[in-house]
Amino acid sequence: MDIETAQKKVQELHDLLNQYSYDYHVLDKPSVPDAEYDARLQELVKLEEQFPELRTSDSPTQRVGGEILEGFQKVEHNTPMLSLANAFSEQDLRDFDRRVRQVIGEDFQYVFELKIDGLAVSLRYEEGLFVRGATRGDGTIGEDITENLRTIHTIPLRLKKRYSMEVRGEAFMPKRSFERLNEQKLEREEEPFANPRNAAAGSLRQLDPKIAAKRNLDIFVYGIGEIGDTGVKKQSEGLDLLDRLGFKTNRERKKCENIDEVINLLHEMQDKRQSLPYEIDGLVLKVDSLEQQEQLGYTAKSPRWAIAYKFPAEEVMTKLLDIELNVGRTGVVTPTAILEPVRVAGTTVKRASLHNEDLIREKDIKIGDYVVVKKAGDIIPEVVNVLVDQRTGEETDFHMPEECPECRSELVRIEGEVALRCINPKCPAQIREGLIHFVSRNAMNIDGLGERVIAQLFQEGLITDVADLYELTREQLIALERMGEKSVENLLNAIQQSKQNSLEKLLFGIGIRYVGSKAAKTLAQNFETMDRLMNASKEEVVAISEIGEKMADSVVTYFEQAEVITLIEELKSHGVNMEYKGPKLQAAEESDSVFAGKTIVLTGKLEQLSRNEAKERIEALGGKVTGSVSKSTDLVIAGEAAGSKLSKAEELNIEVWDEARLIEELG
C-alpha cells in the first residue's frame, strides 16, 4: 500500500472508530458489536505499525496509555478554575435567588445541573486537537494529567470543529466500575478505595497511563473556560455546543423559570440519587445568560451567578472508644475522639476532633458513649451529639491533662483562649507539625512530602527544622521505608523547585502566629523582600491597611528571635528565594502610567500576550483588571473575537483598545 492510500484509510478508520466510540460511550447506544470495533482498531494498529508517521496523537489507538511518566508538570490555567459557594438548605437557595434578582431583576432563567462527585479537570483544545488536560490544583496552577485523561473514551481527542478552547468538567468513576475495582483490590489483598471520588483521583494521579486506562473513568463536561468565538450566549447553549462537539454532558440538566421550580426538581433528584449510575453530592444552579452572569460578577473565590446545593450530611451512630490528645503546630493540644470505625458518606470514619474541653463539657461527651457522627461540609468528621439514653453507667469523664502529651512540659491556658497550649518551642510534636505545614500546598507546596514521610524523616533525625529539608540527599531518602528510586527523584526535584517560590509562600510556611496565607501575601506585596520585612518596625507593619495590631506584634516579635534569624540565613544559603514575585503594588495616584488607578477589562483572544501576562503587567503599572464590564470600567482591551463584553463597552461608551495599543502603552 502506498502512503497516500494508507493515509486515506487511516482517516476513514479514525472517523469510523470515533463514531463507534461516541455511540458506545457517550450515547450509551452501541451501533456495532464489540468485535467489529476491535477488528477495525486492529486494522488501524497494523497500519500505524507499517506507517508510523501516520500515528497521530488523536488516533483512537492512543487511548490505551503511553509511556510511564516521571512526574506531573505544573500548568497554569488560562482562566482560573473557581469553585462554587455552597448552599446547605432550601433557605440558602432562596437567599441566593434573592441576591440574583436584586442585581439582574426578574427576567432570567436558571440552568439546573447535577453536582457530579469526582474531580474537576480542564481540557485544552488547539484548533480542535486535544493538547492538554489538567487538574484544578489551587485554581490557578494545576497538574498536567493529559496522558491519563487521553485514556477516557468520552474525552474527544479531536473536536468536530477546529475550535481553540478550554473545556471544564468533572472526571469520575461510575459506581459499577468502582465496585469492580475494589473487588479486585480486595482479591489482591490491597487497600480498597474509600469512595468513587478517591478512586477517580487516585487513578488520574497514576504515573503509568496504562493503569489509568484500565480504570474505566468517565467525564461529564459542564462548562467552557473561555467562550472565544463560539457565539455562545448562554450556559445552556454552551452545553448544547459541547454536545455537538462530541463531548459527554449530563442529560439531567433542566432550565428553570424560578426558584420554586428549582426546589421541586431538587426533591425529585434527591429521590433519584441512589438509582443514578454515578455519585452526585448535590446540585448546581447557574444563571443561564452569560451577559447576566457578567453583570453578577465574582467574589474572590467564586461566581455570584452560581451556587452548589449540597445534600444534607448523612448522620450515623457509633461508639466513642477513647479520647486522644494531639499537639498542633502552634502547641494547641486538641482532644480527638477515637471512634468505632463507621461508614459515613462514602468513607470510613475512625476519628473526629473534639476541639477543646469546653466543647466536650457542652456536649456532655464521656468515653464509652454512643454518639451521632456526621461529616461537616461532607469532609470533616464531627460528633453531633451524645445518645444519653444509651448510657450504661460504665462511661467515664474526660479531663484535659496538665502536661503536654509529647514533651511533658506544663500546659498553659492563654488569656482569652479556650485552648490549652504547650509553649515549649522545642516540643517535637510542634516541630513535626510545623514541618508538615511548611511543605503543604498553600505554603511551599512540596509534592511527595506527606505526613508519613515527614514523620519518618523526623523520627530518623534527618530533619529538625525546615532548612534541613534542603540538605536531604538521595541516599538518605532511598533508605526510608516505601521510597523507590522514582519517588526519591521526584521528591528531590520538588524540593529544588520550591526554592523558586515567591516570598509569600515562605512567609506562610514558616508559620508566624496569626499570619494566614492571605496576610502572608499582603506582607510580601508590601515589603517585597524578606530583609525589608525582617527589619520593619511595628509601626511600618501596622501601617498596612489589612494588617491589625495583633498580627503586626506577632510578626515583629517573630523576627526578633535569634533562632528565626539563623533559620532565615540558612534558608538563604540553600538558595531559597526571599523575594516577592507576584504583581507589584503601586500607589495608583503616584504612578504616572496611563493604567494607574484605572479599572480595566480584558476580553477576546490576545495574540502576543497571555491573559495572565497582560494582567500582571497592567497591575504592575497600577491598573486593576476585573472580569466584567460595568459603569465603573475605564478601559476595555479587546482581542480577537471579543464578544458580549465588547458590545457592552460600546453600549456604555467605554474606551476600547486593541492588543497593539495595549502593547504600545505597556512599553
Q: C-beta of 280: minimal distance to ligand IVH in Å?
A: 8
Q: C-beta of 113: minimal distance to ligand IVH in Å?
A: 4
Q: How far apart are CA 663 and CA 637, in angstroms?
A: 11
**DSSP labels, 221-288:** EEEES--TTS---BHHHHHHHHHHHT----TT-EEESSHHHHHHHHHHHHHHGGGSSS-EEEEEEEES
* Residue with cell string 512599553: 667
Residue nearer to ligand IVH on the CB measure, 306 or 547: 306
Binding mask 332-361 vs ligand IVH (x if CB under 6 A, - otherwise)? ------------------------------
Contact in structure between 371 and 351 (CB atoms under 8 Å): no
Residue nearer to ligand IVH on the CB measure, 308 or 444: 308
Put residue 378 in one of left, alpha, beta given phi > 0 → left and psi -120 to 50 → alpha: left
- CA quadruple 220, 222, 226, 227: dihedral, nearest 10: 110
Task: From 112-120, 264-272, 393-401, 658-666, give the range in contact with ligand IVH by CB under 6 A.
Answer: 112-120
Is residue 180 within a helix (H) or strand (E), and if so which, with residue range?
helix 175-187
Q: Which three cell numbers stand for residue 131?
A: 493538547
Q: How far apart are CA 355 and CA 514, in angstroms?
A: 18
Determine which residue in the list 10, 16, 75, 84 makes contact with ligand IVH, applying CB under 6 A: 84
Using rule CB under 6 A, residue 83 touches ligand IVH: yes
**DSSP labels, 413-428:** E-TT-SSEEE--TT-H
| The Cα angle at residue 557 between residues 556 and 563, in degrees rounded to 5 | 115
Determine which residue in the list 142, 174, 238, 303 makes contact with ligand IVH, applying CB under 6 A: 303
Q: C-beta of 77: minimal distance to ligand IVH in Å?
A: 12
Q: C-beta of 236: minimal distance to ligand IVH in Å?
A: 12
Q: Residue 232 has what DSSP assignment?
A: -
Q: How far apart are CA 157 and CA 377, in angstroms?
A: 36
Neighbours of 520 (CB within 10 A): 21
Using rule CB under 6 A, residue 288 touches ligand IVH: no
Q: C-beta of 502: minimal distance to ligand IVH in Å?
A: 25
Residue nearer to ligand IVH on the CB measure, 230 or 249: 249
Using rule CB under 6 A, residue 100 touches ligand IVH: no
What angle, rounded to 10 degrees, do the helices at 451-459 and 428-439 form?
Answer: 140
Q: C-beta of 532: minimal distance to ligand IVH in Å?
A: 37
Q: Cα separations (Å) of 471 from 123, 464, 570, 571?
A: 38, 11, 10, 10
Residue with nearest beta carbon to ligand IVH: 120
Task: From 98-106, 113-121, 411-419, 646-654, give the range in contact with ligand IVH by CB under 6 A.
Answer: 113-121
Burial (0-12, 13-18, 19+ Cβ within 10 Å), 107: exposed
Determine which residue in the list 65, 128, 223, 434 makes contact with ligand IVH, applying CB under 6 A: 223
**Which of positions 238-267 make contact with ligand IVH (CB under 6 A)?**
none
What lies within 8 Å, CB to CB, of 647 at 6+ separation is: none
Q: How far apart are CA 615 and CA 76, in angstroms?
A: 14
Task: From 62-70, 88-96, 123-131, 303-311, give the range in contact with ligand IVH by CB under 6 A.
Answer: 303-311
Q: Which three cell numbers stand for residue 79?
A: 482562566
Q: C-beta of 85: minimal distance to ligand IVH in Å?
A: 8
Q: How far apart are CA 615 and CA 666, in angstroms?
A: 11
Residue nearer to ligand IVH on the CB measure, 225 or 548: 225
Determine which residue in the list 16, 149, 308, 352 makes contact with ligand IVH, applying CB under 6 A: 308
**Residue 298, SS3 per DSSP:** strand
What are the catalytic residues? 115
Beta strands at 316-327 and 141-143: parallel, antiparallel or unpaired: unpaired
Q: How far apart are CA 570 and CA 55, in angstroms?
A: 52
Amino acid at 414: I
Please count the residues of this chain forming the interface with ligand IVH, following the rule CB under 6 A: 14
Q: How many CA atoms lie within 13 A of 117 on its CB side?
A: 23
Using rule CB under 6 A, residue 224 touches ligand IVH: no
Q: C-beta of 457: minimal distance to ligand IVH in Å?
A: 32
Question: Cα 6 from chain centroid?
Answer: 44
Q: Cα separations (Å) of 173 from 18, 122, 143?
A: 22, 17, 19
Using rule CB under 6 A, residue 115 touches ligand IVH: yes
What lies within 8 Å, CB to CB, of 446 at 6+ separation is: 439, 469, 491, 494, 495, 498
Q: C-beta of 117: minimal distance to ligand IVH in Å?
A: 7
Using rule CB under 6 A, residue 306 touches ligand IVH: yes
Residue nearer to ligand IVH on the CB measure, 116 or 625: 116
Using rule CB under 6 A, residue 284 touches ligand IVH: yes
Using rule CB under 6 A, residue 427 touches ligand IVH: no
Task: From 54-62, 108-116, 208-216, 421-429, give the range in contact with ligand IVH by CB under 6 A.
Answer: 108-116
Q: Which three cell numbers stand for residue 269?
A: 433528584
383-415 per-residue burial string, b: 16 or more CB within 10 A, e: under 16: beebeeeeeeeebeebebeeebebbeeebeeee
Q: C-beta of 226: minimal distance to ligand IVH in Å?
A: 13
Q: C-beta of 170: minimal distance to ligand IVH in Å?
A: 4
Task: From 79-87, 96-104, 287-295, 491-499, give the range in contact with ligand IVH by CB under 6 A.
Answer: 79-87
Task: From 93-101, 301-309, 371-379, 482-490, give the range in contact with ligand IVH by CB under 6 A.
Answer: 301-309
Beta strands at 599-603 and 624-626: parallel, antiparallel or unpaired: parallel
Determine which residue in the list 222, 278, 527, 595 makes contact with ligand IVH, applying CB under 6 A: 222
Neighbours of 300 (CB within 10 A): 6
**Which of positions 118-177 make contact with ligand IVH (CB under 6 A)?**
120, 170
Burial (0-12, 13-18, 19+ Cβ within 10 Å), 43: middle
Neighbours of 113 (CB within 10 A): 24
Task: From 76-84, 313-321, 530-538, 639-647, give the range in contact with ligand IVH by CB under 6 A.
Answer: 76-84
Task: From 100-108, 115-123, 472-480, 615-623, give the range in contact with ligand IVH by CB under 6 A.
Answer: 115-123
Determine which residue in the list 10, 41, 75, 116 makes contact with ligand IVH, applying CB under 6 A: 116
Q: C-beta of 306: minimal distance to ligand IVH in Å?
A: 6
Binding mask 363-382 vs ligand IVH (x if CB under 6 A, - otherwise)? --------------------
**Which of positions 499-538 make contact with ligand IVH (CB under 6 A)?**
none
Residue nearer to ligand IVH on the CB measure, 124 or 437: 124
Determine which residue in the list 48, 97, 113, 447 makes contact with ligand IVH, applying CB under 6 A: 113
Using rule CB under 6 A, residue 196 touches ligand IVH: no
Determine which residue in the list 6, 45, 82, 564 makes contact with ligand IVH, applying CB under 6 A: 82
**Residues binding ligand IVH (CB under 6 A):** 82-84, 113, 115-116, 120, 170, 222-223, 284, 303, 306, 308
